[in-house]
Chains A and B, each alone.
Chain A
Amino acid sequence: IAGITQAPTSQILAAGRRMTLRCTQDMRHNAMYWYRQDLGLGLRLIHYSNTAGTTGKGEVPDGYSVSRANTDDFPLTLASAVPSQTSVYFCASSARQGGSYNEQFFGPGTRLTVL
Chain B
Amino acid sequence: AQSVAQPEDQVNVAEGNPLTVKCTYSVSGNPYLFWYVQYPNRGLQFLLKYITGDNLVKGSYGFEAEFNKSQTSFHLKKPSALVSDSALYFCAVSGTNAGNNRKLIWGLGTSLAVNP
Contacts and interface: CB of A to CB of B under 8 A. Distances in A.
A41 B102 CA distance: 21
A95 to B, nearest CB: 12
Contact of B94 (A42, A50, A99, A108): A99
Interface in B34-89: 34, 36, 41-46, 49, 51
Interface string A72-115: 00000000000000000010100001111101111111000000
B49 A101 contact: yes
Contacts of B95: 99
A56 interface: yes
Contacts, number: 59
B11 interface: no
Contact of B101 (A40, A98, A101, A103): A98
Contact of B43 (A97, A101, A108): A108
Contacts of A4: 43
B103 A99 contact: yes
Contact of A104 (B41, B100, B101, B104): B104
**Central interface residue in A40, A42, A45, A103, by most chain B CB within 10 Å:** A103
A61 interface: no
Nearest to A31: B103
Interface in A42-65: 42-43, 45, 48, 50, 56, 58
Contact of B103 (A45, A90, A105, A109): A45
A103 B106 contact: no
A38 B45 CA distance: 18
Interface of A: 4, 40-43, 45, 48, 50, 56, 58, 90, 92, 97-101, 103-109
5 contacts: A92-B44, A98-B103, A99-B101, A99-B104, A106-B45
Given A92-B44, A103-B34, 6 more contacts: A42-B109, A90-B43, A97-B100, A97-B102, A99-B94, A106-B36
3 shortest A-B CB distances, which residue pairs?
Answer: A99-B102, A106-B43, A42-B108
